[in-house]
Chains A and B, each alone.
Chain A
C-alpha cells in the first residue's frame, strides 16, 4: 500500500545510451498504472528502475514515504512478476512461494498460512509439491503471481507477464490479474506492448515513446482524445487513419472549422461509414482494395482517389460491397482529430 512518485527520472547507460529521459509520474495508492509503448521506448527500463534492478542515473524515486534511489531491490518492499516468470526450477511451487518470506525471516506457521492463502486464491493449491517444469504455461504464470502475492508488498511490478501465453489464456489471466489487483488494492505498475491489455487493465495509461511520456490519462481519455499523433496511432486497433489536409483541400473535401495549425486529420476506422450520417463533415471517394471479414465486424481497406495510402474502415457485420467497387466514406465533424504534423501534437 503505497504511493509511488517518480520525479524527473533519467537513465543513461555507461555507453551513453539514454533509455529514460525525464519521466515524472505520481502514482496514487492502489492505482493500476500501465506503461505502454513500442519496443525500445524505455518502459521496461523504467519498471526495472523502480524495482531496483537498474540504477537510477538522475531524479528521485519515492515509494511510500521513502526515497529509494539507493536501496537494494529487497529493501524497496516491491514484488515483481517477470515475463519469463523466473521461477526457481529446482524448487517446488511451495518453496518458490516461500523463498522470499524465508529470506525475510517470517515465522514458519505464518509462511504456511500465506502460501496456502495465495495458492487458494490462484487455484494452484494442488500443485504445491510440483516443480515448475511439471506445470503448464498458465500454471507457471499463476505461481509467478503467487510469489508476488505472498510477499504482501507495497507495490506489484509486472513486466509483460502475459506475453508468453496463448491468446485465450492471456485474456483469462488478464481478467484475473485485474480482479485480484482490485480486491487487494495494491499499487501496481504494469508494462506491456499490447495496447488492448493496456486499455483493459489500466486505471491510468502511460504511453511512452523514446524514453519520454507521450501522454498520461485514463484509457478512454487517451482513446477519445489522443494528445499526439503517436498516441493516436498507438492506441486503438485497427490504427487511426491519418489524412493530409492538403489532400482534403485538393479534393474539396476539407472539413469546415478545424483549429489553426491543423495539417493532419485523424479519423478512427469505426467513425468512417459508407453512408452519409446526419451531419457528415467529410466525404472521401475511393475504391475498395480489400474486404476483410473478422466475425462480428469487417475491415474494409479503401484506396482514396489520387492517394496511395489506404484507409481502414471498420463496419459491423459483413457489408455488401465488392472489392474494386467505388465507395464514398463519410465522417462526422466530432470524429475528426486535428493534429499538426511538425510538432506531432493535437491542435484542439
Chain B
C-alpha cells in the first residue's frame, strides 16, 4: 500500500491541526467513559458524603437483580421489533418511491422530514396521539372494539414505543435503501424480466440479495439506535412504564442514576452498555470487511 507523506514546515503544525479532534474525543468520550469505569466501582452513601471503593460489587448486584435482567429482555424485544418494523417499512417505501418517475423527489423529501424532528418532540407527538383520554388513536381503536391503554397494559406500551422509535428511523433507512435500489443496474432487472421472473420474483431473487450489504449495514445501525438512542422517545411517552414494561437498558441507566441517585449502579450499567456497543461494532466491521455477498 502506498502511503502519502505530507511535509510540514513546522513540527507543531500537524499536532495543532489534530488538536481539536483529539480534544473533543478526550472531553466528550474518553473522559466520561473513564469516569463511568471508575464510578462503576464506587458506592456512594444516600447523601453523597462518602464514597467507598467496592471493586465489582455493583456488577454483581446488577446481574443478581431480576429487574435488570427483565430490562435486558425488554431491550431485546424492543430493539428487534423496532429494527424489523423500521427496516421493512422503509424498504417498502423505498421500493415504491423507486418505481415513481415524476413525483419521486417530492416523496423523498417528505419521507425524510421525520428525521429532522427532535426525539422529544416526536415523543410528545406520539404521546398526544395515543393519549388514553384525549388521543385520536385510542378513540379510533375503541370504534374497532379495542380498549387501548398503554398506561396499564404493558403490551400496548411496548407497541407505542416501538412505533414511535421506528417512525423516527424510517427516514434514515429509506434514504439508504433508495440509494441501494438505484445502484442496482437496470439491465439486471431487464435480464431477469426476459428470464421469465415476474415483479415479485425479481424482487426476492435479484433486488433483495443485491441490497444485502445495505440491509446489513442498516440492521446494525438500527439495533444500535434502538438500544441506545431511544431515550427521548421513551422518556416522552411511557417513562419506562407501566411496571417496567418499556424500561430498556438506557432508560434504566438514567433512572437509577438521576432519579434514584444510585450513581455506582448507573455507571456499572453504562459500562455493560459500552461492552454491548463494542461487541456490535466488532460484528459490524467483521461483516462489512468481508462484504455480505458479492
A131 at the interface (CB under 8 A from B): yes
Question: Could you say which of A78, A90, A104 contacts B209, with CB atoms under 8 Å apart?
Answer: A90
> Which A residues lie within 8 Å of B185 (CB)?
84, 86
Question: Could you say which of B191, B196, B212 contacts A86, with CB atoms under 8 Å apart?
Answer: B191
A298-313 contact mask (Cβ, 8 Å, vs B): 1 or 0 = 0000000000000000
Closest CB-CB distance, A314 to chain B, in whole Å? 39
Question: Could you say which of B198, B205, B294 contacts A99, with CB atoms under 8 Å apart?
Answer: B205
Q: Do the beta carbons of A133 and B193 come within 8 Å of each other? A: no
| Cα(A281)–Cα(B190), bound, Å | 55
Q: Do the beta carbons of A99 and B195 come within 8 Å of each other? A: yes
A53 at the interface (CB under 8 A from B): yes
A199-223 contact mask (Cβ, 8 Å, vs B): 1 or 0 = 0000000000000000000000000
B21 at the interface (CB under 8 A from A): no
Residue of B nearest to A98 (CB): B195
Residue of B nearest to A133 (CB): B294
On chain B, the number of residues with a Cβ less than 8 Å from chain A's Cβ atoms is 20
Chain B 177-197 residues near chain A, CB threshold 8 A: 185, 187-188, 190-197
B210 at the interface (CB under 8 A from A): yes
A180 at the interface (CB under 8 A from B): no
| Cα(A11)–Cα(B185), bound, Å | 23
Chain A 123-151 residues near chain B, CB threshold 8 A: 131, 133, 147, 151
| Cα(A209)–Cα(B50), bound, Å | 92
Give the most central of A51, A78, A82, A147: most B CB within 10 Å. Answer: A82
Q: Do the beta carbons of B190 and A103 come within 8 Å of each other? A: no
Chain B's interface: helix, strand, loop or mixed, by majority? helix
Question: Could you say which of B187, B197, B294 contacts A103, with CB atoms under 8 Å apart?
Answer: B197
> Which A residues lie within 8 Å of B188 (CB)?
86, 88-89
| Cα(A89)–Cα(B291), bound, Å | 13
Given the known interface contacts A90-B294, A147-B195, the answer about A73 and B187 at a Cβ–Cβ threshold of 8 Å is no
B52 at the interface (CB under 8 A from A): no
Closest CB-CB distance, A291 to chain B, in whole Å? 44
B37 at the interface (CB under 8 A from A): no
Question: Could you say which of B194, B196, B201, B294 contacts A89, with CB atoms under 8 Å apart?
Answer: B294
Q: Do the beta carbons of B293 and A100 come within 8 Å of each other? A: no
A65-93 contact mask (Cβ, 8 Å, vs B): 1 or 0 = 00000001110001110111010111000
Q: Do the beta carbons of B190 and A100 come within 8 Å of each other? A: no
Given the known interface contacts A99-B205, A103-B201, the answer about A82 and B191 at a Cβ–Cβ threshold of 8 Å is yes
On chain A, the number of residues with a Cβ less than 8 Å from chain B's Cβ atoms is 24
> Which B residues lie within 8 Å of A51 (CB)?
190, 194
Closest CB-CB distance, A132 to chain B, in whole Å? 8
> Which A residues lie within 8 Å of B196 (CB)?
74, 100, 103-104
B206 at the interface (CB under 8 A from A): yes
B118-138 contact mask (Cβ, 8 Å, vs A): 1 or 0 = 000000000000000000000
Residue of B nearest to A153 (CB): B194
Q: Do the beta carbons of A90 and B293 come within 8 Å of each other? A: yes
Closest CB-CB distance, B208 to chain A, in whole Å? 10
Closest CB-CB distance, B146 to chain A, in whole Å? 43
> Which A residues lie within 8 Å of B192 (CB)?
88, 99
| Cα(A313)–Cα(B197), bound, Å | 54
Residue of A nearest to B212 (CB): A90
Residue of B nearest to A131 (CB): B294
Residue of A nearest to B197 (CB): A103
Chain B 126-157 residues near chain A, CB threshold 8 A: none
Q: Do the beta carbons of A78 and B294 come within 8 Å of each other? A: no
Residue of A nearest to B101 (CB): A14
9 additional A-B residue pairs with CB within 8 Å, beyond A89-B294, A104-B196: A52-B193, A73-B194, A74-B195, A74-B196, A82-B190, A86-B187, A90-B212, A99-B195, A103-B197
Residues in chain B within 8 A of chain A (CB atoms): 185, 187-188, 190-198, 201, 205-206, 209-210, 212, 293-294
Q: 27 interchain pairs (CB within 8 A)?
A: A52-B193, A53-B190, A53-B193, A53-B194, A73-B190, A74-B198, A79-B194, A80-B190, A82-B191, A83-B187, A84-B187, A86-B190, A88-B191, A88-B206, A89-B294, A90-B210, A90-B212, A99-B192, A99-B195, A100-B194, A100-B196, A103-B196, A103-B197, A103-B201, A131-B294, A147-B195, A151-B195
Residues in chain A within 8 A of chain B (CB atoms): 51-53, 72-74, 78-80, 82-84, 86, 88-90, 99-100, 103-104, 131, 133, 147, 151
